[in-house]
């Protein structure tokens, strides 16, 4: 039986390889890359079985793709997460936990994902928010290292945080909730509409190029403020909205683990609510409006994705372009009494990750047949698409770089050693291209993701959500497996960016089979002493937590809990 299985796998691998080669039987060009990146998007999508959100174009992409159902970011804030997955290094290696340093100067001259493709003959192009702007990308989006030409930024973005939100009395404000009539906006457009138009223009310009392209398109939504076309709210009548299933702060949640959502408190409409710090709570009617606007923002992004994918089809590029759709991290929508990101919970760290490779994740389209026809969400009928090829094993955003390199046929990246500050090119993730080439047969319950989040103190402060590096005193290191979310909050030295894994300030442990929402912290119900004294001598915090979680797993199994 084992021999037959081996032979079956060998034949399947040959078949997949032949399918990939057939794509280029008449075209020797390498696969192009189209990397579509949303901002603050959790997997509230139809293809992730969300019952509310309307996302037909992303669902259509998912139907011909591999869909990773358990993908996680390494830190739930924009700048650190983006630098992490674009270099395939964790925040402790990039030394970026805020927005205030450039990794090439502060940590190491690490090669980025687009830079690697550029060095392999690709024309690399950036539209919108790919790297985080400002110091974190050297005020240049890492140009010219990562990009062949200067990155494009939409002119209308400069109005994003200005007083352009019209109240009922006609006065203008800087609000969290900001549905607009696009024709009334400065320049008569919105940033993601401009991003989409530029992406289509670039695809048109590259369709006859002899060089393959790597095009990254970073959408600004559903990041706040929710400045979106007003009509998308009609998709989500307020009377149909519901609160988060667990809107209360968990009783056993350590103070250090809570994020007080200070960014949304700065908006004028939220300030008018006169909320107490740090817990609020936000009035229920306003909670419903936040959720409504977030969902509407997702549908708005979906439409932009649909326009770009249709252009990919129309220009004859869908047959030789790998498409990736993902996000930098998630966003809490009232779960645990929290809003925004800034935590280690699944709602803040879990992201969509969808990968399409023509001839591999689905058969090639027949001549004249479209792969990505645009789906108008306002037509009223909910399109029914297949679920694609699902992967349940846990993966990380640091896996994207090595995975795309392998899928494109570039030289595989080496794994980074324990200390890799002087290594320009290596990965702290793993390539998961095998899960894309061959359907997942067994859910790997031993796969892990690692996330972290800094805090200035054990108590909740105004800067708890986003402390500057010099103010960080505690780091929450979190490991996510199929069965657990386990987090240790430990002392942290900001001068050397070094944790003390034996200086335990607090802990969290959630048994996901019985507590999928991560509301019942059972950390204090287990004896951790046997393993905690070993954590300080292990080579890295990821190894420390993995060692601890394996110890706890064996204890639970021996008691029949698992």
* Other CB atoms within 10 A of residue 249 CB: 16
Pairing relation of β-strands 321-327 and 350-356? antiparallel
Long-range CB contacts for residues 552-557, cutoff 8 Å, separation at least 24: 552/484, 552/486, 552/509, 552/526, 552/528, 553/483, 553/484, 555/526
Neighbours of 287 (CB within 10 A): 20
Nearest CA-CA partner of 54 in 208, 240, 224, 327:
240
Q: What is the three-state SS of 444-469?
A: CCCCCEEEEEEECCCCCCCCCCCCCH
Contact criterion met (CB below 8 Å) for 123 and 212: yes
- Residue pair 135/99 in contact (Cβ under 8 Å)? The answer is yes
Burial of 302 from C-beta contacts in 10 A (0-12 / 13-18 / 19+)? buried
- Which residue intervals of 377-479 are DSSP H helices? 400-407, 433-437
Query: In terms of Cα–Cα distance, which of 35, 550, 556, 80 is closest to 305?
Result: 35
3-state class (DSSP) for residue 68? strand
Helices 78-87 and 400-407 pack at an angle, to 10 degrees, of 40
Catalytic residues, which ones?
78, 132
Q: Which helix (H) or strand (E) is 479 found in, with range?
A: strand 474-480
């Amino acid at each position: 039986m084992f021999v037959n299985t081996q032979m079956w796998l060998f034949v399947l691998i040959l078949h997949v390889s032949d399918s990939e080669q057939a794509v280029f039987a008449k075209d020797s060009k390498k696969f192009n890359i189209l990397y579509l990146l949303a901002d603050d998007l959790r997997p509230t999508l139809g293809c992730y079985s969300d019952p509310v959100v309307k996302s037909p174009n992303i669902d259509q992409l998912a139907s011909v793709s591999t869909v990773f159902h358990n993908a996680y970011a390494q830190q739930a804030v924009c700048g650190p997460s983006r630098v992490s997955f674009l270099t395939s290094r964790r925040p402790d290696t990039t030394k970026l936990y805020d927005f205030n340093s450039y990794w090439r100067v502060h940590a190491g001259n690490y090669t980025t994902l687009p830079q690697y493709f550029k060095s392999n003959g690709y024309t690399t192009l950036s539209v919108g928010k790919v790297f985080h702007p400002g110091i974190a990308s050297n005020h240049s989006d890492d140009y010219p290292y990562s990009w062949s030409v200067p990155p494009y930024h939409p002119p209308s973005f400069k109005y994003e945080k200005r007083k352009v939100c019209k109240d009922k009395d006609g006065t203008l404000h800087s609000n969290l909730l900001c549905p607009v009539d696009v024709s009334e906006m400065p320049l008569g457009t919105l940033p993601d509409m401009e991003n989409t138009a530029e992406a289509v223009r670039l695809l048109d310009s590259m369709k006859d190029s002899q060089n393959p392209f790597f095009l990254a398109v970073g959408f600004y939504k559903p990041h706040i403020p929710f400045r979106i076309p007003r009509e998308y709210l009609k998709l989500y009548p307020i009377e149909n909205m519901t609160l988060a299933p667990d809107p209360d702060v968990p009783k056993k949640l350590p103070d250090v683990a809570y994020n007080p959502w200070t960014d949304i408190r700065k908006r004028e409409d939220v300030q008018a609510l006169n909320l107490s710090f740090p817990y609020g709570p936000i009035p229920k009617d306003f909670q419903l409006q936040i959720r409504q606007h977030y969902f509407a923002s997702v549908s708005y992004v979906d439409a932009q994705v649909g326009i770009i994918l249709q252009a990919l089809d129309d220009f004859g590029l869908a047959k030789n372009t790998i498409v990736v759709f993902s996000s930098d991290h998630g966003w809490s929508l009232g779960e645990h009494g929290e809003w925004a990101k800034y935590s280690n919970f699944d709602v803040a760290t879990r992201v969509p990750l969808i990968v399409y490779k023509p001839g591999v994740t689905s058969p090639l389209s027949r001549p004249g047949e479209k792969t990505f026809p645009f789906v108008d969400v306002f037509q009223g009928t909910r399109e029914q698409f297949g679920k694609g090829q699902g992967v349940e094993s846990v993966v990380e955003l640091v896996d994207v770089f090595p995975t795309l390199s392998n899928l494109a046929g570039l030289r595989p990246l080496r794994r980074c050693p324990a200390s890799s500050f002087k290594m320009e090119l290596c990965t702290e993730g793993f390539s998961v291209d095998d899960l894309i080439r061959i359907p997942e047969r067994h859910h790997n319950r031993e796969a892990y993701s690692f996330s972290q989040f800094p805090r200035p103190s054990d108590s909740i402060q105004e800067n708890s959500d986003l402390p500057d590096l010099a103010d960080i005193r505690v780091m929450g290191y979190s490991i996510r497996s199929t069965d657990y979310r386990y987090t240790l909050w430990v002392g942290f030295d900001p001068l050397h960016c070094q944790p003390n894994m034996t200086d335990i300030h607090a802990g969290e442990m959630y048994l996901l089979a019985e507590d999928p929402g991560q509301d019942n912290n059972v950390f204090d119900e287990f004896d951790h002493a046997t393993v905690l004294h070993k954590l300080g001598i292990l080579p890295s915090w990821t190894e420390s937590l993995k060692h601890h979680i394996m110890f706890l797993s064996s204890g639970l199994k021996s008691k029949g809990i698992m």
